[in-house]
Amino acid sequence: MDHDLAPGFRLRRDPTTGDRWIECSLEGADLENAPILNKGTGFSQDERDAFGLTGLLPPRCVTMGEQSERVFANYRAQTTDLARYAALQALMDRNETLYYRLLVDHLEEMLPIVYTPTVGQACQQFGRLYRRGRGVYFTPETTIAVDRILRRWRYSDVRVVVVTDGERVLGLGDLGAGGMGISIGKISLYVAGAGIHPARTLPVCLDVGTNNARLLDDPLYLGTKRERVRGDAYDALVDAFVHGIRERWPKAMIQFEDFAMGNALRLLDRYRSDFCCFNDDIQGTGAVTAAGVLAGLRLTGQKMEDLRVLIAGAGGAGIGIARALRGARIWMCDVDGLLTTSRANLVPEQRPFAVDDAPATLAEAAVRVRPHVLIGVTGKAGTFTQEMVSAMDGPRPMVFPLSNPTSCVECTPDQAREWTGGRAIVATGSPFPGTSQCNNVYIFPGIGLGVTACDASRVTDAMVRAAAETLAAMAPISDGGSLYPPIRDIRLVSREVAFAVARRAMDDGVAAPQTDDALRTRIADEVWEPAYVPYRRPRDPIAAV
């Protein structure tokens, strides 16, 4: 399938041979300075002659493998994770194909660098690390100009948009415009994890200010220096953005990312019925956690309806998990303790999970409930105590301390195992050696690929459930009790998730019918492999390829 990605930039494929090439009208320094097209020393001599690059590059033409070895050695030479993050960002800014080749080949090692936990540090240091613009920023002052700004974006076939307002970045809180690092990181995982072409993605930051006093006092902070805009002005900006995306790219899926609970739940419920949108913190976290629990049930022999689940944290992530664990009995706690029907301070989204029970702290609830599954999304280190974990029921209690980055984890895997005499099945949000990681990367890239492959008009709850069930079925639980497939298999996982999501979209009537064979062919065709392909000028005949 051909893709018109931008004026003068078209990805082509010969329908007979399957050979791919790029039609490109840029040349010379313009081509070398376009990260999505630049090959650096990887341009062949014929390409250098044809596109005016001879003399602008060192004379020797090298392979992508040789380039990859060099940049990987430079990456390994860095002495801190933040320096490794900066080195990868610099590579992406000059040669995106090589960046993604390196990321795909070393994803297990680099995932904690390009995303949690290191991306949290990068967002905190965003103004100091900034080198080159990437993505689009909107402020309340540009509400009336959203359409005009989106038309300035070079790429013409965007399919996945990740947007944040930076108010609840991981477990770090309000990082304002620094939250753009999260949008960029999630886009990297859509590309590396599912093969969405980078020119079909867009990271976005809604800069509505920040209530973080440190940032407001920081001379290097790059966002608008004011307290957060709320109310009608905020809603008007979001509404203009959502409508603007659909006007510019009608087939794009919007992923809401790292919004605070009130806005996250409210915006998802406002737009999900009419727009193709998805909240990874709510739905993605819910799906990947449900997948882990479903895989765990294969080890314990229990059924979902047998489970007592205690969730510490009643924000967007906690509510998303509770919604995803359909059939289980749920108890949920926030900073004020157990959600009960007698409490008057619950938000509407929490009320379905309020229990008719006496008030209790989290610790008291754990002893009273004796959960089979204990899940933490509090963002507060040390929330799970020995008393709480030791009180859990069942032969193989499941402990999911999911807060990230690592500094915010509710308890460590070693603590969970020690406090249960080695019986605990553990999954964490941040990476720990020898422990299953409950990472949303298993879910959202596949959802994006599935939506793209079937041109779904919406993301339904059933599509997200299909993603969770597919992931759970792929868990290699016989291999030491792993609740999730190895990260190195993420592209295979994403394809299977994409197929299940797209198949369900058709069943739900939000995508046109396709046969299973046609759908699998479409998914395979949508997957971009980060490799150099020949460049031709638009006037070159197909026979020349």
Q: What is the per-residue DSSP string for 332-400?
A: EEETTEE-BTT-S---TTTGGG-BSS----HHHHHHHH--SEEEE-SS-TT-S-HHHHHT--SSS-EEE
Is residue 437 classed as helix, strand or coil in its secondary structure? strand
How many CB atoms are located within 10 Å of the residue 219 CB?
Answer: 6
Which residue carries 């005016």 as its tokens?
52
Residue 223: HSE in the Cβ half-sphere, 13 Å Cα cutoff: 37
> Residue 100 and residue 496: Cα distance in Å, rounded?
21
Kindly list the strands in the beta sheet with 425-428, ordered across the sheet, starting from the edge strand earlier in the chain.
Answer: 337-338, 329-334, 308-312, 373-376, 398-401, 425-428, 436-437
> Residue 79 and residue 98: Cα distance in Å, rounded?
22
User: Which one of 100, 115, 190, 271 is the catalytic residue?
Assistant: 115
**Nearest Cα to 389, choosing from 419, 427, 428?**
419
**Secondary structure string (H, E, C) spanning 469-522:** HHHHHCCCCCCCCCCCCCHHHHHHHHHHHHHHHHHHHHHCCCCCCCCHHHHHHH
Kindly list the strands in the beta sheet with 277-279, ordered across the sheet, starting from the edge strand earlier in the chain.
Answer: 136-138, 201-206, 160-164, 253-256, 277-279
Inter-CA distances, 279 with 262, 335, 340, Å: 13, 23, 26
Residue 221 appears among annotated catalytic residues: no
> Residue 545 and residue 534: Cα distance in Å, rounded?
8
User: Which one of 85, 186, 190, 234 is the catalytic residue?
Assistant: 186
Given a contact cutoff of 8 angstroms between Cβ atoms, the answer to whether 311 and 377 are in contact is yes
Residue 186 appears among annotated catalytic residues: yes
**Per residue in 299-310, is it b (16+ CB within 10 Å) or e — as a string?**
bbebeeeebbbb
**Nearest Cα to 514, choosing from 500, 502, 497?**
502
Q: What is the per-residue DSSP string for 35-80?
A: TTT--GGGS-HHHHHHTT-TTTS-S----HHHHHHHHHHHHHH-SS
Q: Which two tokens stand for residue 13?
A: 């494929």
Residues 6+ apart with CB under 8 A from 301: none
Q: Which two tokens stand for residue 235?
A: 């809603």
Is residue 462 classed as helix, strand or coil in its secondary structure? helix
> Residue 212 and residue 215: Cα distance in Å, rounded?
6
Residues recognised as catalytic = 115, 186
